[in-house]
């Protein structure tokens, strides 16, 4: 699915994603819950809410509007990671 959120994506959730985020939060996606039926343009995310230091403080299931979720950082796609190995 184009635009799907991947494990490790760090997202910013504000009122653009849902009115419940009048105080914005940052979360790290565990997975998008694609087996749940929702309204068009909405989705469920299984995620860890992060503290200001980037530490997980709570696991949450979040109902959000896809277009309102802002990706803060994204891990490289699987298979595209570059590893440097020192030999010798």
Q: Is the pLDDT score of 82 beyond 70?
A: no
Environment class of 51 (CB within 10 Å of its CB; exposed 0-12, middle 13-18, buried 19+): exposed
Per domain, the residue ranges of the chain are 10-73
Q: Would you state the pLDDT for residue 80?
A: 53
Q: Are 9 and 70 in contact (CB under 8 A)?
A: no
Per-residue tokens: 35: 């087996």
Q: How far is the C-alpha of 62 from the C-alpha of 58, rounded, in Å?
A: 12
pLDDT score, position 72? 87
Provide the residue count of the chain. Answer: 88
Q: Is 17:75 a contact under the CB 8 Å cutoff?
A: no
The answer to whether 66 and 3 are in contact (CB under 8 A) is yes
pLDDT at 1: 46
Q: What is the pLDDT of residues 13-59, one digit of tens each?
A: 999 999 999 999 999 999 999 999 889 999 999 999 999 999 999 99
Predicted pLDDT of residue 73: 80
Which of 18, 22, 20 shows the shortest CA–CA distance to 64?
Answer: 18
* pLDDT of res. 59: 98
pLDDT of 3 > 80? The answer is: no
């Amino acid at each position: 699915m184009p635009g799907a959120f991947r494990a490790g994506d760090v997202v910013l959730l504000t009122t653009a994603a849902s009115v419940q985020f009048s105080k914005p939060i940052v979360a790290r996606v565990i997975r998008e819950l694609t087996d749940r039926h929702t309204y068009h343009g909405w989705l469920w995310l299984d995620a860890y809410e992060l503290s200001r230091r980037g530490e997980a403080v709570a696991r949450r299931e979040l109902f959000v509007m896809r277009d309102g979720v802002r990706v803060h950082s994204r891990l490289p796609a699987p298979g595209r990671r570059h590893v440097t190995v020192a030999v010798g």
